[in-house]
Amino acid sequence: MNRLDEISFFLTSWGWINATRTPLASDAGNRRYERLADQANGKAVLMDADPAMGEDVRPFLKIAAHLTNCGLAAPKIFAQDAERGLILMQDFGDRLLFNVTEKSPGLELSLYHIALAALDQLHKTAPPIAVGQYMADDMAKSAEITLAWYCSPDLAAAIAAELHIQLENLDWSNPVLVLRDYHAQNLIYRPEETGLNQMGQLDFQDAQLGHPLYDAASLIHDARRSLAPTVSHQLKQELSANYQRADSFEHAFSTLSAQRNLRILALFARLCLRDSKPGYLDLMPHVWNNLWRDLSHPSLVGLAKVCADLPPPSPELRSELRIKCVSRPMN
């Protein structure tokens, strides 16, 4: 049975075969999404995460259940076939936090407060069992592996070594569940709901145990958009005022954000070179600026020194990456 037949069988089995299907934007992985509209069943989203492409929906299902138990808005699961990598789930609509705040900047502070309150609620709940770790060793190794797509392996190793020193100085006691891709294009504003249900959660299948500031840094130092400086400053001030760990808030926030921006910078290169997705290259200058804002923290002078050897994502470099972009057969 080929993939199209598997999807047809799945939809037939659950009574959705007559639904109108509209493609939705894919993500940086190999998952595909479609919006379904059916007279009898209403609306849903189909996740197509083909195991043959290395995908596994079981972590998504596990974390979705955990988020729901925490009182957060994860999509309801209508039907699933974990073996074939297919899920029918609740459609949260189109109001991405990214789009809403770009069009209505006056809502930015209040909506980001909700997004951060959702993280606070998540951290107050014991994490699920048998999830992986995203601690100092893991974060440094992840950065090194990904950076090799952007610079020489020797430079990637040197950056990772200095990054590891900074990460080890953070307070890793009592780790929390970090969603690891918490940003404005993975959050859906639902104004018809109340409280934390106003912020629909997406793309959380990579959640692991880690530092409680990681997702907040990902949200505020977003790889895809810039918050208003006054909003960013206020959010960080409020987080700092309530921070009760042994490490310094500013050092922890800057270090975690630097790790993420180093990894994302190289990830965007990898998406072009390996996965034939050159559109992410246009985001690299923004990530580069984020990185050097992080590296301006006085405690990160050693990391800044070794990162000075990284090539900036100039138009010329991004043009070279586009030329090298390989074609990849699509199913």
- Model confidence over 264-320: pLDDT tens digits? 999 999 999 998 999 999 999 999 999 999 999 999 999 999 999 999 999 999 999
Whether 123 has a pLDDT exceeding 90, the answer reads: yes
Q: What is the pLDDT of residues 187-196, one digit of tens each?
A: 999 999 999 9
Whether 330 has a pLDDT exceeding 60, the answer reads: no
Whether 14 has a pLDDT exceeding 80, the answer reads: yes
Q: What is the pLDDT of residue 66?
A: 97
pLDDT level of residue 126 (50, 70, 90 thresholds): very high
What is each CA distance from 189 to 46, 111, 275, 304, 318, in whole angstroms?
20, 8, 30, 36, 33
Sheet of 77-81: strands edge to edge? 20-24, 32-38, 42-48, 86-89, 77-81
Q: What is the pLDDT of residues 206-248, one digit of tens each?
A: 999 999 999 999 999 999 999 999 999 999 999 999 999 999 9
Q: What is the pLDDT of residues 170-180, one digit of tens each?
A: 999 999 999 99
Q: What is the pLDDT of residue 325?
A: 84
User: Residues 226, 199: contact at Cβ < 8 Å?
Assistant: no
User: Residues 190, 199: contact at Cβ < 8 Å?
Assistant: yes
Whether 249 has a pLDDT exceeding 90, the answer reads: yes
- Its pTM stands at 0.93
Q: What is the pLDDT of residues 80-107, one digit of tens each?
A: 999 999 999 999 999 999 999 999 999 9
Q: What is the mean pLDDT of the chain?
A: 94
Q: Within a 13 Å sphere around the CA of 238, how many CA atoms are in the beta-carbon half?
A: 15
Work out the average pLDDT over 34-49: 94
Whether 331 has a pLDDT exceeding 80, the answer reads: no
pLDDT level of residue 149 (50, 70, 90 thresholds): very high
Q: What is the pLDDT of residue 326?
A: 64
Retrieve residue 159's tokens.
């950056």
What is each CA distance from 295 to 183, 252, 288, in whole angstroms?
21, 12, 11
